[in-house]
Structure 1
Amino acid sequence: MTHPRAQFPLGPFTPYAQNPILVPEGDGWESGSIYNPAAIVKDDQVVLLYRAHADDIVSHVGYATSDDGIHFTRRPEPVLSPSEDYERFGCEDPRVTEIDGTYYLTYTAWDRTNAQLCLATSSDLITWTKHGPLFPDFNTFEPNADDVPTPWSKAGAILDKQVDGRWLMYFGEGSIYHAWSDDLLHWEPAPQDQPLMLPTNPGTFGEFLVEVGPQPIWTDNGLILLLHNAAVKYDDGSVRYTCGQLLFDPARPTEIMARMDYPWLEPTTHEDQHGLVSNVTFVEGLVHFRDTWFAYYGQSDSTLGVATFEPGTPWS
């Protein structure tokens, strides 16, 4: 769908003053951390599909709903959990797109050696059919892979409208790539040596890596807006994750038309700056709901926050 009053750059976004909106609870599967949520609107509610784990850091995908985009009610059990050998240590970092009544969820399968982008489908966001790894021979850290083992792929974001009769996915951590599909289940990636976005120049906010954020959206004039995450890595091994934006012409969807050269979201609060992995704002969920844009993000791999933008709010 084309979203009302979606323009590049989208924003300005203001972090919710009472963040975090979801925190770990109980002594079970979501007792350690809760973060990095996919988001979608269903039945006039915002649904979050969020990553959570106990202290063992074996991730599951939880489910929560909200009538206002801020206050959420959780299901007591996860809706997606490790069941296959390639994901035995976690189902991580979901993104979701709805097409013709079917929900397409990408997530990272983790076996503590390889990260593999996987696909699952559902008609209700609760019961999921897994379709396995999408790119088993790919390494999205190329051409700067160094010690990152193949296979390695994360962060798949599927566009909800066809481009020239095919479906389009942007994916990747390290560098950003694209893939095409005729049926939404089987995907053909771009060649390994043809990323559409590399890490940014030294001294900039994406010099260590860039990674796809939420599902891309159609802007008012037909252009495709893609939000992404970016990171720098310091000499002591610590990182800082912020968020950027890209713009594509649908006639040339694998060539960046424009991009933000500074972050639209970055660590500013205590939760953003302290946690399992400190100094991280990592956006994976974006919805337009009741005349407001809601961007949902992980705070330092520990808690879950939201930032909002009401169209008509000026940049300042």
Structure 2
Amino acid sequence: MAAIEAERSEPVEGLRARVLAVDDDERNLLAIAEVLGEVGEVVCAQSGEEALRFLLKEDFAVILLDVLMPNLDGYETATLIRRRERSKNTPIIFLTAISKEEAHMLRGYDVGAVDYLFKPFDPVMLRSKVMVFVDLHEKTREIERNAAREQRLLEQALKAKSDKLDAERALRHSEARQEAILASLPICFHARSAEAPFAASYVSKGVERLTGFPPSRFLSHPDFGLSRVHPDDREEVTRSLSAACETGSYGCEFRWRCANDEYRIFFDRGVVSKDDAGLELLGTMQD
């Protein structure tokens, strides 16, 4: 009888549960397939050896196993099934036409059977018994699918968090490297308001090398930068910075009183930047 084979994989929603029917009499297999056609996908094997080959590659909701078969009988086949990790928990229902004596039934239960069906079997009873295990199998697969989905979501969340942390570390490293480069240059980078007194919103560490004042001094006092421009140069500096809003850029040279109270000549040039917050002057200052 034709065999149906499939590779093992994660439970896929929508696939019918498989029932493995094992009997050396093809007529019995045809009858089982007919009765269980609407219950699940019936896979037929005509020997214990063939059944074991199916169980290497497929998962089944339940196994219907004939007791009397040539070579490997049902008891021997069940014993081998139970030894395999993949199939050790698959329910086995023995099919038998032999005596209903307790000794025979105990032997079946001893090798792992969960139930017996006696030939000739009643179709309603067969369908009813198999349905119990098919329903249980479906519920188990649903739990496995949900667990797999939750695991994927967890892994995605952890990866996203890890990627975010990596990006933040890379950004901090880049910013620190950039700040170190800027601090090593004999130049000051700055950002400030486009309106008088042109309050600074950013000043690089290079300003301390040029003026003797740390960046915090410029950031905490809005008019600090303009107030220390030489009185004779202050009007020209103000005019140059104010005109930048129309021209898009500026450049001016002026004397500036440093921390040692000595005037030093600086050249400041920059461009206008526009965003949702308004206009801002981005520039560089060097001596």
TM-score w.r.t. the length of structure 2 is 0.22
User: Which TM-score applies when normalising by structure 1?
Assistant: 0.20
Report the structure number with the largest CA radius of gyration: 2
Which has the bigger relative contact order, CA under 8 A and spacing at least 6?
1
More strand by percentage = 1
Q: Which is helix-richer, 1 or 2?
A: 2
